[in-house]
Chains A and B, each alone.
Chain A
Amino acid sequence: MNSLAPISVSIVGGFLGAGKTTLLNRLLEEADGQRLGLIVNDFGDINIDEKLIVARDEDMISLANGCICCSIGNDFLRALVAMTSRADPPEQIIIEASGVANPARIASIAQADRDLSLQGVIVLVDAVNFIAQLDDALLTDTLEGQVRAGDLIVLTKRDLVSPKAISLVEKAVAAITPAPRIVSSAVGDLPIGLLFGLRSRDRRSGETREPAHPSFWAGSFTSEQPCNLYLLREKLMALPETLLRLKGVVCDVEGTSHTVQWVAGRLVIAASPSTVGDVAGSELVYIGVGAGAEEADVRRVLTSAFDVSC
Chain B
Amino acid sequence: MATVIFSAKRIITMNPSRPFASHVAVRDGRVLGVGTLEELQTWGEAEVDDRFTDLTLMPGLIEGHSHLIEGALWDQVYVGYYDRTGPDGKVWPGLTTIDAVVERLAEADAALEDGETPLIAWGFDPIFFGEQRMVAADLDRVSTSRRIGVFHASLHFLNVNSVVVDESNLAASANMQEVVLGSDGKPTGELAGMVGMYLAMKSMQYDASAASTYPPSLWNFAKICQLAGVTTATDLHSPLDDEMVARLKGEIEKPDYPIRLVPAFGGTLMSPEDGIARIGSLVAKSTDKMKMGIVKLVLDGSIQGFTARLQWPGHFNGAPNGLWYIAPDELKKLVVAYHTAGHQLHIHTNGDEATKVALDAIEEALTAHPRPDHRHTLQHCQLASDAQFRRMAALGVGVNLFSNHTYYWGDQHYEMTLGPDRANRIDNAGSALEHGVDLAVHSDAPITAIGPLFTAWCAVNRVTATGRVLGGEAEMLSLDEALYTITMGGAASLKLDHEIGSIEVGKFADFAVLRDDPYEMDLMALKDVRVWGTVLGGRVFEAPTR
Please list the residues of chain A having a beta carbon within 8 angstroms of any beta carbon in chain B.
1, 15-16, 42, 44, 58, 73-78, 80-81, 84-85, 99-100, 102, 104-106, 108-109, 111-116, 138-139, 141-142, 266, 268
Contact = CB atoms under 8 A, between A and B. Distances in A.
Interface stretch (B14-22, B67-75, B176-184, B362-370): B176-184
B321 interface: yes
A106 B195 CA distance: 8
A102 B323 contact: yes
B328 A138 contact: yes
Contact of B194 (A15, A58, A108, A268): A108
Nearest to B173: A111
A129 to B, nearest CB: 11
8 contacts: A75-B209, A78-B207, A84-B202, A102-B323, A105-B193, A108-B173, A108-B177, A109-B195
B324 interface: yes
6 residue pairs, one from A and one from B, having the closest CB atoms: A108-B176, A111-B173, A100-B324, A74-B239, A114-B169, A100-B327
Interface of B: 167-170, 172-173, 175-179, 191, 193-195, 197-199, 201-203, 207, 209-210, 239, 241, 266, 269-271, 274, 309, 320-321, 323-330, 353, 357
B416 to A, nearest CB: 20
A111 B169 contact: yes
Contacts of A75: 209
Contact of A138 (B172, B203, B357): B357
A138 B176 CA distance: 26
Given A81-B202, A108-B179, A141-B321, 10 more contacts: A1-B202, A1-B203, A73-B270, A85-B202, A108-B193, A111-B176, A112-B173, A112-B176, A112-B179, A138-B353
B169 A109 contact: no
Contact of A100 (B197, B266, B323, B357): B323
A239 B18 CA distance: 81
**Quick one: which of A1, A77, A266, A268 has the most chain B CB within 10 A?**
A77
B326 A100 contact: yes
A85 B172 CA distance: 22
B194 to A, nearest CB: 6
Contacts of B199: 112-113
Contact of B198 (A16, A113, A139): A113
Contacts of A109: 194-195, 198
B327 A112 contact: no
A99 B271 contact: no
Contacts of A268: 172
A114 B167 contact: yes
Contacts of A84: 202
Contacts of A114: 167-169
A78 B201 contact: yes
Contacts of A80: 198
A77 B178 contact: no
Nearest to A266: B175
Contacts of B357: 138
Contact of B330 (A16, A73, A102, A108): A16
Contacts of B191: 112
A223 B274 CA distance: 56
Contacts of B274: 44
Contacts, number: 98
A112 B239 contact: no
A84 B173 CA distance: 19
Given A100-B327, A138-B357, A108 B195 contact: yes
Nearest to B237: A74
Contacts of B320: 141
A170 B338 CA distance: 39
Contact of B325 (A42, A73, A100): A100
B517 to A, nearest CB: 44
B170 A112 contact: yes
A231 to B, nearest CB: 19
Given A42-B270, A100-B324, A78 B194 contact: no
A111 B177 CA distance: 12
Nearest to B170: A112
B241 A44 contact: no
Contacts of A85: 202
A111 B174 CA distance: 10
B330 A99 contact: yes
Contacts of B271: 42, 44
**Quick one: which of B193, B194, B207, B241 has the most chain A CB within 10 A?**
B194
B178 A108 contact: yes
A3 B325 CA distance: 36
A139 B328 contact: yes
Contacts of A138: 309, 324, 328, 353, 357
B173 A73 contact: no
Contact of A112 (B198, B201, B309, B324): B198
B353 A112 contact: no
A99 B327 contact: yes
A100 B300 CA distance: 11
A44 B268 CA distance: 13
A79 to B, nearest CB: 11
A160 to B, nearest CB: 20
Nearest to A84: B202
B98 to A, nearest CB: 24
Contacts of A104: 177
A142 B168 contact: no
A104 B209 CA distance: 24
Given A81-B201, A109-B195, A114-B169, A73 B239 contact: yes
Contacts of A115: 202
Contacts of A58: 241
Contacts of B178: 105, 108, 112
Nearest to B329: A16
B168 A112 contact: yes
A9 B242 CA distance: 33
A65 to B, nearest CB: 26
A84 B170 CA distance: 18
A113 B326 contact: no
Nearest to A80: B198
Nearest to A76: B194
Contacts of B209: 74-75
Contacts of A78: 201, 207, 210
Nearest to B356: A138
B194 A105 contact: yes
Nearest to B320: A141
B131 to A, nearest CB: 25
Contact of B269 (A74, A111, A139): A74
Given A108-B176, A141-B320, A77 B198 contact: yes
Contact of A113 (B197, B202, B239, B329): B202
A81 B198 contact: yes
Contacts of B179: 108, 112
B210 A77 contact: no
B204 to A, nearest CB: 11
B194 A77 contact: yes
Contact of B195 (A15, A74, A112, A142): A112
A78 B168 CA distance: 18
A306 to B, nearest CB: 23
Given A100-B326, A108-B194, A138-B353, A113 B241 contact: no
Nearest to A101: B323
A112 B199 CA distance: 8
**Quick one: which of A102, A116, A142 has the most chain B CB within 10 A?**
A142
A55 B327 CA distance: 33
A89 to B, nearest CB: 12
Given A113-B168, A114-B167, A139 B327 contact: yes
